[in-house]
Each structure stands twice: as C-alpha cells, then as structure tokens.
Amino acid sequence: MRKEFKHVDDFYEAVDEPSQREVIDGGRVYVTPAGSVYPSITSILGRQPKPGIEEWRQKVGAEEANRIMKESSELGTMVHNLCEQYLYNLPLKCDYPDEAISVFNRLRFILGNVDNIYGLELPLYSDILKVAGTVDCVAEYNGVLSVIDFKTSRKAKREDWIEDYFIQAFFYAAAFYEMTGAVPEQIVILVAVRDTFEIQVFKKPMSEMDVYIGKLLEIMKKYPTVTQQYSEK
C-alpha cells in the first residue's frame, strides 16, 4: 500500500519567498520581495575549479562528456519530479524512461522515512549571506526536522567527494531558519547510485553548520565576482 504523506500546509504560507528566478551572465539569481538580487547557491559552488571533471572531459572527449552530462542531468530532473509527485501524494508519471523509474523505485523505500513535510522545492534566501536557492525538501526524516536533498550518481560517492552537497544543504538550513524561525536538526543527502542500485544516506547534525557556512563564505570571498556582478546591477 502506498504511503500517504502528511504536509504542514499552513507553515510556509506567511513567508515572503523570492518572487523571481532569472539568469544573468550565465548565472542563476533570485529577486527577493525587497528587490535584492542574490546569486543562487548552485551558481556560487559552480564557479569553483573542478580539476577532476576537466581531466575526465579531456579523457573521454568534449562531445562524449557533454552527452553524458546532459543525460545525467535529464535523469536527475526526472527522478526529482517523481520524488516530488510521490511526496505530494500525486499519481506518478509513468512515461519516463525505465532507468528513471528504476532509480525512483529504489529511492521510494527510503522516502518512507519522510513525513510531516514543511515544503517541497522551496525557494529560500538569506539577507545575511546574500545568497538564495531552492531546497528539495524540508520535512521530518525518522521524526527529526531535516533539510533533505535528492541526488543521482552513476557511481557511489565518498563523503570527502561531496563537500559541495553539504555546503549547499547547510545553506538551505540557515536560510530556512532565517525566513521561518524553525530550526532543522540535521541535513540528509540521499544519493541514488545508478551502477550499483544502492541508496547512500549521508547525515550531518546542525552542530557542523558553522564549519560549512564558513566554507561557503571562503568560496564567496575567493570568487567575489559571483556576488559583486549582481549587487552592482
């Protein structure tokens, strides 16, 4: 029997979320209700050099790398959509490719740990950090209020490879608290691994937030054009 997820329907209604999402100079930005323009957390993290990816692109060739990355992005979007439909208690779209359905079917067992959902695909921003973004899910995970992010990957991840995932999720936790006053107790990253059919679960408590927000500030300082180009517009 399919689980019926509970939603905290009136929690987020009074919050002034960012009203617009735009692309400026190739980077996504959000416009807040006060008219401030903040870069997205993904745009900020994406400015960092990624030597491992560049090495891989050179190895397989640009055309093949672009094909693989496009395929992975499209699969990730489809799996995200299925997760959202499932958590909203909606009928599932069944005309997706078999692999997307297969990946989602593995995730859905883990999604049984989710309940009392505060929001899905929530736009968030922080006036303190001057950053914005959209979180996959804020809900209770095994009874603990959590920021939950869904990821897909061809191969299993090691924790030391996914620092950006943790920075991103802790930003969402900080912004959610700033906007609502509610304090998530942990972040949860769910990674559906395509090659091994496993689901990896990475958790971190809020006691580690300062470390990762500090890393975010270091990135913003090291690559100041990420924020300056928007504040000057």
* 84-123 residue pLDDT tens: 999 999 998 778 889 999 999 989 999 999 999 999 999 9
Query: According to DSSP H, which parts of the chain are helical?
Result: 41-46, 51-60, 62-87, 98-111, 163-180, 209-222, 225-231
- Residue pLDDT, tens place only, 25-53: 557 889 888 888 899 999 899 887 676 67
Residue that has been written with the tokens 């790398």 in this structure: 65
Residue type for position 209: M
* C-alpha separations of 82 from 91, 207, 231 in Å: 9, 32, 36
Domain boundaries, the chain: 20-231
Q: Which of 67-76, 118-127, 150-159, 220-229 has the lowest mean pLDDT?
A: 220-229
Query: Per the structure block, which two tokens stand in for 121?
Result: 């695909």
- Residue pLDDT, tens place only, 47-95: 876 766 777 677 778 787 788 778 888 888 999 999 999 999 999 877 8
Q: Which CATH class is domain 20-231?
A: alpha beta
The neighbour count for residue 60, using CB atoms within 10 Å, is: 12
pLDDT class for 228, splitting at 50, 70, 90?
very low
Does the pLDDT value for residue 141 go beyond 90? yes
Strand partners, 26: none
